[in-house]
Chain A
Amino acid sequence: MPLLLTRLTWLLFVLSLGALVWSPDPDWAHGTVLHVDGLTRLMAVVTTFFSGIIQSFARRYMAGAKRLNSFYGRIFALTFIVILMTAANHLVLFVGAWTAMGWLLADLIGHVRGWPQARAAARFARWHFLASSALVAGALALLGVQAGTTTIDGVLSSLPSLSSSTVALAALLLLGGAMIQSALVPFHRWLLSSMTAPTPVSGFMHAGLVNAGGILLARFAPVAFELSWVMLVIVFAGGVSALVGQAWILVQTDVKRQLGSSTVAQMGFMVLQCGLGLIPAAITHLLLHGFYKAYLFLATGSAVKQTTPSKASPTSPSLAGSLVALVSAVLGGLLFATLTGKSLTTLNSGALLTLFVVLAVLHATRTMIRRSALPRTARLWAVPVALLSSIGLYALVYNGVSALLAPLPMVSVHPPLTPLHWTLAGLFVAAYVATERGWHRLSTRLYVALLNSSQPVSTTLLHNRDQYNAY
């Protein structure tokens, strides 16, 4: 059965890829039950790819494990349900798929049935997912009843006729559901307590299933974008997670929880992008982050390293070096903006994205300049090649995703920047400067607060090894 399902998943991947390239448009794909659009087709390719990788990996990684059939059955069912969810047009089908996804995921977190800690983690996650389902169901029921329709298309097209309080309530409920699914602060704990899952499940979860929050927001973008203050709430929710998650990474000592903290941050960033009205950017992020995080999870066995205590304090590069870094950063930002069609003259939410690219390039070049050990020849060609190809690859994916999503209603709006946006941007820059200078290290209180707030649920910790059971 594992072999069969793995092959079937890869076959589905090839078919999805074909559907993505040739874009067939059969009639049944626009019914009241299903509605296949660019988002569906894209997510089908992405989901089957991750699922295929995870299953191929697990065929060797989990060889000889008990209950393999149940493992593969659940992974496959999850794959199918995620595609179904992105294709659902009927509100009930959508809520059903959403709920089933959470249920199966909780099962997989507790895949090791005989291990009490795994069961506790599964239980904890299941309650979260059920709450998320309730919020989503509430939002869709509200919208459906008020609009007098049972389809997503119907809801979205009759939005202008709904009262703004209805839309606002529905949007906040949806945001709640998305925040739980994407493990945003303060609903992050289920994710940081989920390492009882087999490594491949964690890979699938962090690369794929946590993204469902972003899919939800993308699907109901018109609801979320109807009111600009709701968008600000989304920006705030995402921004907080991005900052806090990234700060948690600094203090984690085990590799999987460190990756989990990073997922919280990256999901926050994705939701932030949604709140900026940049759905294609969010979907691109979700996709690329999926590659990144799945790889790192599958590679967690490599975390053992011979290390020496570092005593070096961060050194500042010379003035010339800083100048070079700054110039490269600005150039990188310009390149990014040009390739992705961002306006260079007007300041809007797209400019915030460019800011993050500028910061990344700035930090990368600063690091390279500081590293005197790197051969000159390598610095001369490797650095530009790496930067150009990274930005180029990103732009390629971004433009592809944008083209696919273009027909969707309201995927990209460019709200003007408000003081909140500026504050957030300022916070990130301040955090960057503070961590570079090492100011955060002055506060023991902050250290303890970060460590404590990122602890898993106590019942999922294995203090008494007797209680461990591998099956």
Chain B
Amino acid sequence: MPIERSVVRARIENAAEYVGPLWPLQTFNAANPLVGFEDQPFDHAVQQAGKLLGGRGYAHPSVFRQAWENGEIDPDILTRRLAEHGITQRPEVLLDRMDSDDRRADSAPSDEPLDRVMVKWLSAFLDQGQAAWPMPKRSEGFYAAWRAVAPYDNAAPSITRSADLPDTLLEAFEEVLSGYPEKRWESIFVHHLAALPGWTGFIKWRSRRANTEWQEAYPITLADYLAVRLTLATHLGEAVAPDRARDLPANGTDRPFLPQIWLQAWEESYRDRLLSDLAQAKTPNDKATRPDAQFAFCIDVRSEVIRRHIEEQGPYETHGYAGFFGVPMQHQPYGTESTVKACPPIVDPKHRIIDRPVDDKQSAADRHGWWTALETGRRGLVKTLKHNIAAAFGFVEGSGGFFGGAMAARTLLPSALFSMAEWVTDWIPQPESFTEPTVDRPPSDDAEWENGLPVGLSHEAKVLYAEAAFRLMGWTDRFAPIVVFTGHGTQTPNNPYKSSLDCGACSGNPGGPNARVLATICNEEAVQTELRERGIDIPDDTVFLAGQHNTTTDEITLFVDDASPPVPPDALDQLREDLQTAQAGATTERVRTMNATVDAGRPQAAVRETERRAADWAETRPEWGLAGNASFIVGPRSLTQNVDLDGRTFLHSYDWTKDEDGTALENIMTGPLVVGEWINMQYYFSTVDNAAYGSGSKVTQNVVGKIGIVQGNGGDLMTGLPLQSLQIDDEHPFHRPLRLLAVIQAPADRVDAILDRHASLAQLLDHEWIHLTIMDPTENNSFFHYESEGWTAHTNAAPSSPPAFSTSAS
């Protein structure tokens, strides 16, 4: 029976919706693992996904118990919520009942031999450089490559010649599917895609980015995967179609479900406390004086802590903006050939920015180049000797002593290594000190197009991005003499999840390069003139600097040429001194949540502890990343300035009075807020089911193909975050699995208008993937909660201050 290519393709497309894309570890991206279910109400979605992927949708009862015992769930709210469903038992009784209900139903046993053979060939095909001898014929695509190796694979003895297997994908589908009616195909595809959601998620990611080098060289699609898997299933005598009972899972039930009620009560408790804090916050009123310096930080929850501590140091102001600073760019760091995407996953890069040495600093660049070449040579030599069939033995004997010394140093003296690394970076010139981003278009315009992207920015683009930045933040006047755009990045060795700690708005890369680009743009006279014409009042004496916040140590590095600083040296020294004090304060606050033994009396002790973590190859918890995230506040900093938000809040600056038509708010709600939801959902699901939606403990992880994680000896690719990024220890979560609460200061009709235009955003709210409360300035700043029927006024009976968000583990 001949079948239609387009029909098969469409069925696969539909079936693929159930699998979330999985980014490689180099550019770890926050993503909702249930993104394909977002068109359904949250509760239905988690139940369906649970049936298909085996994951749980709500936290384990022990997590609710801890929250209850810590006082994070307001008893009144819980009682009221339970009563709404006619439940009157005491919370303690309900916790016990949830515990006993929580016998996890046995998931369907997986198709072991089929999975095993699939995993073997998938890891061989998708390898990005671990194996010195890669799978043969990869360039012909996965199906063809498998067809070439299958006859030699004793796992499927019935295949003895490649010619026994269908020539093409379509023929393969024809052979397998001809026995099934077309309406069954989709459920067959879903079943087989969901059998290995990690690998299929990675294929899904890779096949949708056709321009990545690996996909170009060795193409693979979900159709390849299905063709191989279904053909193998017939040869192994395994079921092609799932039992009818396990066809696409039916919709969830409407039965009130205890964990759901507990989650809602917990979220409402958090919300009420946050809102009462915001209501009581005293708005500082010193708009008259000009600050010494202003900082724009990423909206990342980690910025909240350091911003608070910087503001304490003196006349400083801070703003929050997406950490790619609105420049949709692809970045090529100095000395590398490959580029990285330095903008959010939902944005396509439009410019290529290359770091090039400044003319008068060529000697520094040469010195840097000499050392990097030596290091590259050493690495290459070690690799080839390690893998060489005859040289490896002599190599091991010759190098063993050095490895032993290095091992002892890295294990026993991590703090000393941090100091040594600092010393080395002082001694060998670093690229930031001698390069400049190419923000200008090169003279010969099209000479440097690559991947369809031009190098540099046109004048119009520069003005556009600069204006957009200040408009979105509502920052059109009162510029300080120094304005610092501060990106952020992490510092953590020996950590496969490094990029999960870098800037999410830069697709898991450090944000410093973006900050440099925006600062360079804003310092251009022509740009400033045009901005002034458009009502953004930048004084002549304002200098824009770029910097990077090290989120592991809270150190802020300013990218300034100290030989000829663009600002008065005194001012720069003062700024650096204050940043150091702020670092000490912020780290002291953070190490309290880190199970660290630090002498509380000495502020430098906390800095030392974080520096040790930044250099320690044995550290599985270098920093908390975005763990704890629970809310997203859109409004001017004055709303939150005197509130300790405990590093749980994304802060996006916004001034409703300067956004008459709502464009700025629309951009914030459809951009950063959605990315916030992705991050929040990733943390949520990784926490509630670390096996199905997270990646398990780092202690037994194994890096496969240089791109992903498997547990132990291998199997399905793990997705999401590791246990150590979410939990203080094996028993106590650090991240609270709550859905994101957005708080926006804007008139209700403005928000309504935006939601009318963006149905998918409204759907996220209606289906409770995200909560929204507005602070309506036209209604005396009262709070209103979004509900699908309309706005409900906030009634508050919350207790005064929230319990400290710290560990209860000892």
Contact = CB atoms under 8 A, between A and B. Distances in A.
Interface of A: 53, 56-66, 112, 115, 117-118, 121, 192-199, 242-243, 246-247, 249-258, 262, 265-266, 269, 284-285, 287-292, 294-296, 298-311, 356-364, 367-368, 371, 373-375, 377-378, 382, 390-391, 393-394, 397, 428-429, 431-432, 435, 440-441, 444-445, 447-449, 451-452, 455-458, 460-471
Interface in B386-439: 386-404, 406-408, 410-412
B385 A360 contact: yes
Contact of B394 (A359, A371, A456): A359
Size bin of chain B's contact surface: 35 or more
Q: 6 closest Cβ contacts across the A-B interface?
A: A288-B400, A360-B394, A64-B729, A291-B404, A390-B398, A462-B715
Contact of A362 (B154, B380, B391): B391
A464 B407 contact: no
28 contacts: A58-B618, A61-B619, A66-B730, A192-B713, A196-B711, A198-B699, A254-B710, A255-B704, A262-B392, A292-B400, A292-B403, A294-B407, A298-B411, A303-B130, A304-B26, A308-B213, A360-B395, A362-B391, A375-B373, A390-B402, A435-B388, A447-B152, A461-B712, A461-B714, A463-B110, A465-B711, A467-B107, A467-B691
B389 to A, nearest CB: 5
Contacts of A307: 128-129, 706
B612 to A, nearest CB: 9
Contacts of B569: none
A418 B396 CA distance: 26
Interface string B108-130: 01111101100110011001111
A306 B697 CA distance: 23
Nearest to A336: B394
Interface stretch (B131-139, B232-240, B796-804): B131-139
A466 B691 contact: yes
Contacts of B113: 458
Nearest to A297: B407
B706 to A, nearest CB: 5
Contact of B396 (A198, A266, A391, A431): A266
A309 B706 CA distance: 12
A375 B374 CA distance: 7
A255 B130 contact: yes
Contact of A57 (B25, B26, B618): B618
B381 interface: yes
Nearest to A379: B377
B780 interface: no
B152 A462 contact: no
B82 interface: no
A431 B400 contact: no
A288 B396 CA distance: 7
Contact of A291 (B127, B155, B197, B400): B400
A243 B393 CA distance: 11
A468 B715 CA distance: 11
Contact of A302 (B112, B197, B493): B493
Given A360-B393, A469-B691, A470-B696, A452 B411 contact: no
A249 B132 contact: yes
A412 to B, nearest CB: 17
A465 B716 contact: yes
B205 interface: no
B699 A61 contact: yes
B180 interface: no
Interface string B678-705: 0000000000001110001111111111
B728 interface: yes
B131 A252 contact: yes
Contacts of A256: 702-703
Nearest to B708: A304
B753 to A, nearest CB: 43
Contact of A458 (B112, B376, B380, B396): B112
Given A61-B618, A307-B129, A269 B731 contact: no
A63 B621 contact: yes
Given A117-B713, A363-B388, A468-B696, A382 B374 contact: yes
A251 B133 CA distance: 5
Interface of B: 25-26, 54-55, 107, 109-113, 115-116, 119-120, 123-124, 127-133, 135-137, 148-149, 152-155, 195-198, 213-214, 217-218, 337-338, 340, 370, 373-374, 376-377, 380-381, 384-404, 406-408, 410-412, 493-496, 498, 595, 616-621, 690-692, 696-707, 710-716, 718, 723-724, 727-731, 809
Nearest to B162: A444
A449 B397 CA distance: 29
B587 to A, nearest CB: 18
A449 B384 contact: no
B691 A363 contact: no
Contacts of A463: 110-112, 115-116, 119, 195-196, 715-716
B715 A308 contact: no
B135 A254 contact: no
Given A444-B136, A463-B112, A431 B389 contact: yes
Contacts of B340: 306
Contacts of A252: 130-131
Given A66-B731, A254-B703, A367-B380, A118 B401 contact: no
A250 B132 contact: yes
B618 A298 contact: yes
A457 B131 CA distance: 21
A249 B444 CA distance: 48
Q: By CB atoms of chain B within 10 A, which of A65, A115, A304, A461 has the most?
A: A304
Given A65-B697, A112-B697, A429-B390, 12 more contacts: A61-B620, A117-B711, A250-B133, A252-B131, A257-B714, A285-B397, A291-B400, A299-B494, A360-B395, A444-B148, A463-B119, A465-B198
A195 B26 contact: no
A448 B149 contact: yes
A468 B154 CA distance: 28
Contacts of B130: 252-255, 258, 303
Given A61-B699, A306-B338, A451 B124 contact: yes
Contacts of B197: 465
A291 B412 CA distance: 15
B643 to A, nearest CB: 30
B376 A373 contact: yes
Given A243-B389, A461-B715, A357 B616 contact: no
Given A65-B730, A258-B130, A295-B404, A359 B704 contact: no
Which of A112, A243, A429, A464 counts the most B-chain CB atoms under 10 A from its CB?
Answer: A464
A265 B392 contact: yes
B381 A364 contact: yes
B476 to A, nearest CB: 40
Contact of B713 (A121, A302, A444): A121
Contacts of B393: 242, 265-266, 269, 285, 356, 360
B232 to A, nearest CB: 14
A84 to B, nearest CB: 24
B152 A357 contact: no
Contacts of A368: 377, 381
Contact of A441 (B133, B196, B696): B133
Contacts of A290: 400, 404
Contacts of A377: 370
Q: Pick from B217, B595, B715 the residue with the most CB of A within 10 Å.
A: B715
B507 to A, nearest CB: 13
A243 B390 CA distance: 8
B155 A452 contact: yes
B715 A295 contact: no
A303 B703 CA distance: 6
A258 to B, nearest CB: 7
A60 B619 contact: yes
Contacts of B338: 306, 308
B716 A359 contact: no
B148 A359 contact: no
A127 to B, nearest CB: 17
B401 A470 contact: no
